[in-house]
Amino acid sequence: MAPARVVLVGSGTPLADVPHAVTKVPLAENPGCPGARNEGLRLLCDSGEVDVVVELDDDGLLIADDVFRRVRELYAADPALSIVSFRIADEEGVTQRRHVPRLRAGDPMRGGLVTTFLGGGHALSVPMLRETGLWPAAFFFGHEETDLAWRALDGGWRVLYEPGLVLRHPRTSPARHAVFYRYTARNRVWLARRRLPAPLVPVYLGVWAVLTAVRARSLSGLRAWCGGFREGLRTSCGPRRPMRWATVWRMARLGRPPVL
| Rounded CA separation 85/163 (Å) | 8
Give the end-to-end CA distance of the chain in Å, rounded to a whole number: 38
Max CA distance (Å), the chain: 53
In this prediction the pTM is 0.95
User: What residue type is 252 in one-letter code?
Assistant: A
Give me the amino acid identity at 193: R
Residue 178: per-residue pLDDT: 64
pLDDT in tens for each of the 260 residues of the chain? 788 899 999 998 888 787 778 999 999 999 999 999 999 999 999 888 899 999 999 889 999 999 999 999 999 999 999 999 999 999 989 999 989 999 988 999 999 999 999 999 999 999 999 999 999 999 999 999 999 999 999 999 999 999 999 999 988 766 656 688 999 999 999 999 999 999 999 999 999 999 999 988 889 889 999 999 999 999 999 999 999 999 999 999 999 999 98
**How many angstroms separate the CA atoms of 99 and 105, rounded?**
9
Query: Count of residues for the chain?
Result: 260
- For 83, counting Cβ atoms within 10 Å of its Cβ (0-12 exposed, 13-18 middle, 19+ buried), the class is buried
**Burial of 117: CB neighbours in 10 Å, binned 0-12, 13-18, 19+:** buried
Strand pairing class (52-56; 121-125): antiparallel
Q: Could you tell me if 84 and 122 are in contact, meaning their C-beta atoms sit under 8 angstroms apart?
A: yes
pLDDT tens, residue by residue, 17-63: 877 789 999 999 999 999 999 999 999 998 888 999 999 998 899 99
List the beta bridge partners of residue 52: 125
Q: Which CATH superfamily is domain 6-172 in?
A: Spore Coat Polysaccharide Biosynthesis Protein SpsA; Chain A (3.90.550.10)
- Closest by Cα among 100, 192, 99 to 139: 192
Q: Judge contact between 203 and 188, C-beta under 8 A.
A: no
